[in-house]
Amino acid sequence: MTAKPKVQRIHPDIKDIWLVTRVVQITLGFSLGLYLYTYGIFFFEKFGGEGSPQALKLTALIYMIMFFVELFAEVPTGAIGDFIGRKKTVMVSFVFRSLFFFCLAWVPFINSVTGAFLISLLAVFCFAFGYTFYSGSFIAWVVDSIRERNIKEGHGSVLARSYSILFLTQIIGAAIGLSLYLSGYIFYAFALGFIVCILCAFFCGVVMKETKSLDFHQGKLSFQKSATRMKNIIVNGFHICFKNPAVTYLMVMYAAFMFLTHVVEYLWPVAMKTNFGAGRMSPYWFLIVFAALVLTFIGAKTLEQINHTHTVNGEREKVPNVKLWRWFIIVSFVMSVPVILLGRLVMDGKMNLWFFIITIALNQFGYGFLRPCYETLVNNYIPTQHSQERATIMSFASMLSNLFLIVLMLPSSGQTGATTAIGWIIPSGILVGLALILHLFMTRYQKKIGELPLRPVGQNYD
């Protein structure tokens, strides 16, 4: 009996693209883990800690400045990527990330609060630009590079698998970062982050190949011509965002689930401390951090499996948009409904630790699934003739997410630490409401363009 041939998870014709994608996501995940769970408390301690009334205010101010910079830089940096090329902007993003770690590495040696605040402020500026130059541009590079190869299974399997790797390496980075922080050697975590990011920038410069089918600027830059070209890119991207119904619905859903993710991620330590007396670095804190990371990885792995197992006549092909959208809605409910129930328990004075932990874990599972699922779907619906504006279009969604965060973060925080989970009903309720309403509109649109009844192979639509 002949053994059934093993289906490769990554198509052999895009192994060069997969190499770059894998290295970039490994670097990004590992560096995220090094700082993400320590730099907030690190800032708080450097600004005076619990004995200083200004410490919390300065820490909050640092975060708010970072959010505002990201809000206003998102679309222009996406347009830069669509203008000069995605390879260059990805390289720039990792240079900014390395500068972020370089600044953080200096903060432990600064004794004055003012000096620590100023260097920390410079660090978050570098982080914000590193984030926005990367946001949209790298995914656009992956999608259009694969599109040029005419691979039947599309970009979905690569995106899902790359996020699995990102979240897995984030667990490793978090373990190292937390260990160094608890040992009093946080400087080495930041130094390690600097090294891996600058090495990744060099790697992209040498190995990453620019998309050939798109018209990126070459040669000298003229301010007037560059400004006109970027303005046209932004205008065209804006038109696609709000004239293509599927892209609009997905952008709004992205902003909603990212808003919920950020609110829960930033505030669950406060809720745990005030309700259960278990603060940062306690056993329960470690349990939630690593359980959340593992569930995020499982979420991405679930989507990867959906992509991997979808075949037509025995051959791997792109998962239909209708199927992906249904999974998107289901996971949105899995992510948000437990948060609403948790808020209700707090209102009734019946907060339960294990339900609290499960809620955080499911929230992170949802993020791990929905992030690559969104990026797969929205790029399926962006018309091929507008590939030149792809990074800009995706940046509009990130900008909308930051706008949600800035406008609604305060009311979503609750009135006290003990009741902060009540405030979480706002972002979770928004996500549930939008999922119910937009599912109806998306289904109607999918019928209009012929995706329903379900067809075996997805495609781009105007």
- For residue range 45-55, list pLDDT tens digits in order: 888 876 777 88
pLDDT tier for residue 280 given thresholds of 50, 70 and 90? low
- For residue range 155-207, list pLDDT tens digits in order: 888 999 999 999 999 999 999 998 998 888 999 999 999 999 999 999 999 99
CATH class belonging to 233-462: mainly alpha
- For residue range 395-422, list pLDDT tens digits in order: 999 999 989 988 888 888 877 777 888 9
Q: Where are the domains of the chain?
A: 14-208, 233-462
pLDDT tier for residue 38 given thresholds of 50, 70 and 90? confident
Is the model's pLDDT at 454 over the cut of 80? no
**Domains 14-208 and 233-462 agree in fold:** yes
* 3-state SS record for the chain: CCCCCCCCCCCHHHHHHHHHHHHHHHHHHHHHHHHHCCHHHHHHHHCCHHHCHHHHHHHHHHHHHHHHHHHHHHHHHHHHHHHHCHHHHHHHHHHHHHHHHHHHHHHHHCCCHHHHHHHHHHHHHHHHHHHHHHCCHHHHHHHHHHHHCCCCCCCHHHHHHHHHHHHHHHHHHHHHHHHHHHCCCHHHHHHHHHHHHHHHHHHHHHHCCCCCCCCCCCCCCCHHHHHHHHHHHHHHHHHHHHHCHHHHHHHHHHHHHHHHHHHHHHHHHHHHHHHHCCCCCCHHHHHHHHHHHHHHHHHHHHHHHHHHHCEECCEECCCCHHHHHHHHHHHHHHHHHHHHHHHHHHHCCCCCHHHHHHHHHHHHHHHHHHHHHHHHHHHHHCCHHHHHHHHHHHHHHHHHHHHHHHHHCCHHHCCCCCCHHHHCHHHHHHHHHHHHHHHHHHHHHHHHCCCCCCCCCCCCCC
CATH class belonging to 14-208: mainly alpha
- For residue range 350-377, list pLDDT tens digits in order: 888 889 999 999 999 999 999 999 999 9
